A and B are shown apart, each in its own frame.
Chain A
């Protein structure tokens, strides 16, 4: 063996390159499930979870699957929500994706080619139509929903009473909203907390004049006329000193945070935060549908659910697992834990009762909130997004703030967003 060190090194490097190149195959590998000798199939399920409590809830759901189908086991893997989609796409790229994939309607288009359509394979009865609709793309049901969210107007009841302004209610118009925001802007506090987050901002533009940033065939149209008009109106709240402008482009949750902190008297937030706003705010919180613009009150809807990854070696078992995870028992359990507004119509009352029981003195507020959510569902449209929605969100954060501070015109900012996100939509 008179091999020189250089040769050894070169061989070693070549070896590692070959091994690594083989390991790094594209997202076509079969992974995410295994069958043991006894015939039991173990399926990987990836889901976001922010706490041990949430993890325990999900473990309970996984156990429900085995209860119903003794030959299917579900192995839960979790990641914090902020890392979840980064992790998921890396796993898909490496061919290490789970069989059961948790999916949010706003991200669906980026993963549309990687999910097995569930039409006819899983039980789709009993869901609110809007929830199913939100997880459908190109006519295919890519995931089944476990929750459903609409956007609401959160308001500070105490501030309204103190200023002698009539409280928002169903049928409240954009003009009423604007007037109230101006009246409530006194003493360093603002009437409204602005946002540049997609659901929060775009729902207000939608209710103002029906402006939509995405066409029905899922193409961006940020620079369309209605969008410019709606954003001009929305940004006008800031110039009229009736709203708090986010302090920086990284303040994604600005409006709702300032609301709970008592600095903004109204904000738009999702139905998922009803419970936490009631708990965290040091004032009485009220809920109303978004103010009605030219076409009545409207909101975007979003849903989260579970789908089956393409390439899963046991698609039939995975579809069964998804049926149980989104089934009536699972939904009743999650609603009873106060996880989120259920996608199944029958379980929605359970969620309402949970919120009431948790906070009995706010029972009226909770019932008002749920009524507003149901109102919202009636005037709601799912927000369909493009493949590059992450980039779009980033551009909205960077350029809408310039409009709010008066640094750029709505037309120019929307043109910039449109132009920069046209690549890869």
Chain B
């Protein structure tokens, strides 16, 4: 298995030169913290004070004793389960509608505005809206409606981005394919399901995957709107990690929680990538 060692050419050296900054950046700011988080998750690592190795205790605590972690996990999944489909459906519907509108560009800008305004500002305004809505108790103070209110605000904030992605894909649909389909008599729902959706399936896949990853990391909206309450009705996984790290000052526990979240996201994304072979069509 001996291969001759090629002499280094100038090109290779300059390639190395170009790549080094980003490799160093990746190593220093991504790989090192990721590796460090693994190490920390096996320690009792208070922000202030001495640390000690505790093996799997942090994970055991999160999955067994922590009164909030499993609820946070459930809330995160409920949020994702509601937010992702609503977001995709709304974005898709509007993208198709806008495609035929005379004022396409105006609508695109209008619907994209929430996506580019800072999330915190959006959440604060929505909180004021919910307060102005009144009600006894307020939707944000009622354990049955608080999470739904968070979903509603998040969909409003998030669908604009997907709509732009879908809008671009819809514009790119090949006219010849669409014409062929209409000559074959495909109209309405049939045309949408069998021709148009397959044509934009790469965009759908991209949007579904990214939206799902973002949804599993939801933090700002519940943090501003409800602070996890009432009770722990709107506490999410990232809030749990934040609470462990910056309120309980237990960095080991926070790292363990973050790793569990990472594993969940990795798993869900892997399933999506395996599943995409069945429904995503790339033009070759």
Contacts and interface: CB of A to CB of B under 8 A. Distances in A.
A370 B222 CA distance: 39
Contacts of A186: none
A407 B246 contact: no
Interface stretch (A69-77, A88-96, A355-363): A88-96
Contact of B227 (A27, A92, A394): A394
A402 interface: yes
A424 B141 contact: no
B37 to A, nearest CB: 13
A201 B130 CA distance: 24
Given A114-B48, A248-B146, A398 B247 contact: no
Nearest to A390: B247
Given A250-B223, A391-B247, A424-B248, A245 B137 contact: yes
Contacts of B68: 420
A404 to B, nearest CB: 8
Interface residues of chain B: helix, strand, loop or mixed (majority): loop
A420 B136 CA distance: 28
Interface string B35-79: 110000000000111110000000000000001100000000000
Given A13-B32, A391-B243, 9 more contacts: A92-B48, A110-B249, A249-B230, A250-B229, A394-B227, A402-B143, A405-B136, A407-B231, A408-B231
Contact of B50 (A26, A399, A402): A26
A409 interface: no
A12 B28 CA distance: 9
A247 B48 contact: no
B50 A248 contact: no
A246 interface: yes
B138 interface: yes
A373 interface: no
A16 B32 contact: yes
Given A9-B23, A394-B243, A402 B223 contact: no
B24 interface: yes
A405 B131 CA distance: 15
A388 interface: yes
Contacts of A26: 49-51
A142 to B, nearest CB: 14
B143 A407 contact: yes
Contact of B229 (A86, A249, A391): A249
A59 interface: no
B141 A405 contact: yes
B252 to A, nearest CB: 12
A162 interface: no
18 contacts: A8-B16, A9-B27, A13-B27, A93-B48, A245-B138, A248-B127, A249-B140, A249-B226, A249-B228, A249-B230, A391-B247, A397-B227, A397-B229, A398-B227, A405-B136, A407-B143, A407-B231, A424-B248
A397 to B, nearest CB: 6
Contacts of A416: 67, 231
A139 B156 CA distance: 55
B35 A398 contact: no
Contacts of B48: 27, 89, 92-93, 110-111, 113-114
B20 to A, nearest CB: 8
A113 B47 CA distance: 13
Contacts of A316: none
